Amino acid sequence: MGSLPILKTSDDVVAVIETGNSREYLHLNLELKGKWAQDHGDKISAFANKLDQPTTFLAVGVSDDGTVMQHDENWAKKTEAVVSHHVNQNLDPQQSCKAISCKKTKDGWVVILTIQNAGEVTYWGGYAYCASGTTTKRMGPAEILTLRIQLPGLIDYSKQHHKSLYNQGLVRRFVAEEARDLTQCFLRVCREKCASNRINVR
């Protein structure tokens, strides 16, 4: 396993697809899917949670034996949009999917996902997954904790995805109360200033 080549860029993926050497067992960090399904997101989570593999590529539009499905550019763009939507809905943190790109090969278009660990446990649909050979399984609390301890944590906190819903009524109430408090504070300062001026005049 250690002697297998590691792909570094999506262009490397295109190159091995075009040479007919894109079968999964020939590479440490390549997953092939003939078509995209939302359930494939567990693979994204599992690959992102691998500590010994900095980058993994998931190529959609290529069968397990390396055969390109001969899709056109229109299919690729539609698939890219669907994958992006599913990633936005289910992947946390979203930085684990570094890129989703449409690529043209000599036999048809493919969509390639670039997957990396973002420094935190990666979830899909609220669950964290890990890879064991060619299969994935849902991680338990102990496994998640063990992995989290080994990870540095998200670095760019401004880009963390916040999925919680907020109550607009509570937000408006908070803003109104803050505005009222600021107004009362301002009026109090004005009254104190006026009282101070009157004393000084006398």
Residue whose structure tokens are 């763009």: 77
Is residue 102's pLDDT more than 90?
yes
- Residue 71 has a pLDDT of 95
Confidence of residue 199 (pLDDT cuts 50, 70, 90): low
- Residue 201 has a pLDDT of 40
Decide which of 5 and 67 is more confident: 67
Is residue 125's pLDDT more than 50?
yes
For the record, the structure tokens of 152 come out as 């540095």
| Mean local confidence (pLDDT), 58-72 | 93
Decide which of 64 and 113 is more confident: 113
Supply the pTM of this predicted model. 0.72
The Cα–Cα gap between 195 and 197 comes to: 5
For the record, the structure tokens of 131 come out as 């890879």
Burial of 152 (0-12, 13-18, 19+ CB in 10 A): exposed
- CB within 8 A of 172, min separation 6: which ones? none
Residue whose structure tokens are 């034996």: 65
Confidence of residue 179 (pLDDT cuts 50, 70, 90): confident
The Cα–Cα gap between 84 and 78 comes to: 10
Residue 18: count of CB within 10 angstroms of its CB: 13
The Cα–Cα gap between 7 and 202 comes to: 85
CB 49 within 8 A of CB 3: no
Residue 14: count of CB within 10 angstroms of its CB: 20
What's at 54, amino acid-wise?
Answer: P
Confidence of residue 166 (pLDDT cuts 50, 70, 90): low
Radius of gyration of the chain (CA): 26
Q: What is the mean pLDDT of the chain?
A: 86
Across 15-29, 34-48, 130-144, 173-187, least confident range = 173-187
Three-state DSSP at 5 gives: coil
